[in-house]
Amino acid sequence: MTIDKIALQELLEKGPDADLLREMIGFVAERLMALEVEGLCSAGHGERTPARTNQRNGFRERAWDTRAGAVALGIPKLRKGSYFPGFLEPRRTAEKALTAVIQEAYVQGISTRSVDDLVKAMGMTGISKSQVSRLCQEIDVRVGAFLDRPIEGDWPYLWIDATYVKVREAGRIVSVAVIIAVAVNTDGRREVLGLAVGPSEAEPFWTAFLRSLLRRAGVLKARHEARLAKKLQGSAVPLSTEETA
């Protein structure tokens, strides 16, 4: 079945994975505020330049209620005048737009066009194309670190499913396959362990995804070491899960 958007947001909004979503929402919101204030001051944080028109004066804390829970924000204060981000104004749908951009980052990587649209949806001004590009890179790095993080502990229950979503590639809307792995550990804690995007649900795509889970869990390394040790002793050893027991 082909759907327009993946339900990753629903997975992340519940349970421990909501912590990740809150962290990403907070990170992007604070980076956007910092970039907007940089424009208002005509200078970067700590930058010495004759062009500077204002200075930062610390932060004030503010809780932002989102679908992933309350996000603690540090709103920049200015020496002259005041600053309040437009996305915190009542009835603005900025949080929905921000969550959608984070969701896109997981599925296909984030684009400057998406962040441009997000900046407009959040009512922010004075953010340049180069700053948008830099923020895209920062988001991609964080998402990449999450998707490639080591899998630690015991996860006796694992659900793996695939669906098709529509994404934009080279100016065209195309369908791609998305595999999601969700697991529950021995304490009953659920977590999204992996996500991958491919052109179709072909066997090589599934195989690569499953091997990536094993690699992140340290299983492939243990198997390789076991095979190498046996080989040095003059005998080969099959690739089986019993080697890591």
Buried b (16+ CB within 10 A) or exposed e, 216-240: bbebbeebeebeeeeeeeeeeeeee
Contact 35, 41 (CB under 8 A): no
Helix pair 112-121, 94-108: axis angle to 10 deg? 170
Model confidence pLDDT, tens digit, residues 82-112: 898 888 876 567 777 787 787 777 766 777 8
**DSSP of 49-62, one letter per residue?**
-TT----EEEEEEE
Model confidence pLDDT, tens digit, residues 20-59: 778 888 888 898 899 889 888 988 888 888 888 988 889 9
Confidence (pTM): 0.65
Q: How far is CA 147 from CA 96, 111, 117, 194, in A?
A: 22, 18, 25, 6
Contact 121, 47 (CB under 8 A): no
Banded pLDDT at 170 (limits 50, 70, 90): low
Q: Which helix (H) or strand (E) holds 176?
A: strand 172-184
Higher pLDDT, 237 or 11: 11
Q: Provide the percentage of residues in the chain whose pLDDT is more than 70.
A: 78
210 vs 219: CA distance, rounded Å: 11
Banded pLDDT at 188 (limits 50, 70, 90): confident
238 vs 60: CA distance, rounded Å: 60
Q: Where are the alpha helices (DSSP H) in the chain?
A: 8-13, 17-41, 94-108, 112-121, 129-147, 203-216, 219-232
